[in-house]
Chains A and B, each alone.
Chain A
């Protein structure tokens, strides 16, 4: 991309930092629960998904506790089934999917494109309420008896044999799906119609491209899972033969329809996380992104290819061997887009002026863990190897490396990066680095042994196992404890920083981007005091004076 002459003038804010911002715009419950401000809605999402994360974490802890010993000690096998089902449902549908779009997407999208809000603020609030209703519905049914089908609700077990609360949980997820669809729709319209003057498509921060790609998947995929789950519920209640072979249905059809959404859902989870990595890696390398257009179009590649690889979940499920072959090849192809991104981030860091602040540490963590998660995904796309490790802990380890090692690391990178912008406060950097190390070490200790367990043949979803697997299981549980401590520590110092944290100032990282250079921390309700005009490419660190103190500059204007 061509270099542009910067005509940026210092933002004259005149003590606006001390003036009203979106956090001080109102203190009543009504001002929060009826807010149309995308930033406040983002905070509502932050509280909601964090709560759900810890709920899902409790289920995970109980599972790991049970798996300390080969016998089933703490839980009956039936209850263990409910435990891993609840962990999966809560984490997938109520944390991972809405985390980055709901929190960071909502907070940042209008700020990054120079808009006052999203295109449909009321629809945005409705999305959060729909999420809450779906979550409450699901949680209530889980608490009142639970469900034991696994988060995949495979038929015919879910529709004919399971005596647990399948229908209410499915209804809860059906409701939650609308939140995802509405958010995606809102973001797409916002990106199309509300960009600041001069902000062309190839001047957009790559985070925005990621959110756009994610929105397409949300809109195209979510209706399919909603209809599929509803068909399963109808079969269970009305005995209509769709998936149950006893009623003339086909259980593999359920898997086709389920994974048509649920594999792209993996990209709903990871693509916005990748968007975060773009922003952080450029800032802390002080370099423009390497291969902007390649990364932007890799997002589009993810959208297309994410929808044509679902059959690799069904290689041993009775699917045609020819289909399995085609899905295997297509699954290898999707790795190209991940590789484009990972290589370009690495090239961005090359000869960069790298600093090791907490968000960047999470980026390093992401790079390594996502690499392992992604490459083991290629193992699983190989037909022969997949037969060997299907439904073992190898698969569990693989997707946790992608989802936790990838998405959660990226989410934490993003939260740490934009926390000063969101709340105007700094968190304690040393403790944050220590927590990152805890999370990284705990994560690897938890999940790496599971690769070995799976390769050795330990199936997932069992409360008991042969004695020879105990050492690796104890290691995994010990790692889970460290990981849990890391997460609790993060929550503790983040809350602490809200009260005791030092003021962050407008741009503590000296980052580029409209949200950093054109508004205060926290931003005012209307986001900008004057509409920004964009006259340069993103990540133009080459043309920035890093000796300049942005925060002093703000005060100079007073």
Chain B
């Protein structure tokens, strides 16, 4: 088993500053987008910005961008698990009020 601890990547302060700037920019963007009526796209845009911000935090502030493949798998697996919870729960909410005309099997 290799010693991964000896391979820590040192992130430059400028990288952190850039990511911080991007996060602040996206926050401002979230604020202004909220005033624009995008119809059904509103939620998708808001969630898209939030996911982008979250990804930046995970990749750079949590150092995953510079980490081993095993850690990538761990992160991907964790989000996959979260996805399972969201998809199956939302599956209930989306189909709960389907009336008889939508029924496929019976």
List A residues at the B interface (Cβ < 8 Å): 192-193, 195, 220, 224, 252-253, 256-257, 260, 307-308, 310-311, 318-323, 325-327
| 0/1 interface trace, chain B 74-106, chain A, CB 8 Å (1 if under) | 000010010011001101111110100000010
Contact between chains at B98 and A307 (CB < 8 Å): no
Q: Are A252 and B92 in contact (CB under 8 A)?
A: yes
Identify whether the interface residues of B are mostly helix, strand, loop, or mixed: helix
A320 touches B88 (CB 8 A): no
Across-interface contacts of A307 in B (CB, < 8 A): 81, 84-85
Q: A220-B81, A320-B96, A320-B98 are in contact. Are A326 and B1 (CB under 8 A)?
A: no
Known contacts: A193-B1, A220-B78. The answer to whether A323 contacts B92 by CB under 8 A is yes
User: Are B1 and A319 in contact (CB-based, < 8 A)?
Assistant: no
Find chain B residues with CB under 8 A from A260 CB: 85, 89
| Complex interface: chain A residues within 8 A of B98 (CB) | 320, 322
Evaluate contact between B88 and A311: CB separation under 8 angstroms. yes
Write out the residue numbers on chain B whose beta carbons fall within 8 Å of the beta carbon of A224: 85
Known A-B contacts A192-B1, A220-B78; the reply to A319 vs B84 at CB < 8 A is no
A192 to B89, CA, bound (A): 33
Expressed in whole angstroms, the minimum distance between the Cβ of B89 and any Cβ of chain A is 5
Measured CA separation A310–B91 after assembly (Å): 13
**Contact status A322-B95, CB under 8 Å:** yes
CA A320 to CA B90, docked complex, whole Å: 10
Complex: how many Å from CA A192 to CA B88?
31
A319 and B81 within 8 A (CB):
no
Q: How far is the CA of A323 from the CA of B98 in the complex (A)?
A: 12
Best-buried of A195, A224, A321, A325 by chain B (most CB within 10 Å): A321
Taking CB atoms, residues of chain A closer than 8 Å to B95 are 320-323
**Which of chain B's residues has its CB closest to A188's CB?**
B74
Q: Kindly state the separation between the CA atoms of A323 and B78 in the bound complex, as whole angstroms.
A: 23
Q: A220-B78, A220-B81, A307-B81 are in contact. Are A323 and B1 (CB under 8 A)?
A: no
Closest approach, in angstroms, between the C-beta of A180 and any C-beta of chain B?
16
| Contact status of A323 and B91, CB under 8 A, knowing A192-B1, A220-B78 | yes
Complex Cα–Cα for A323 and B91 (A): 6
Looking at B1, B78, B84, B92, the one whose CB has the most chain A CB atoms below 10 A away is B92
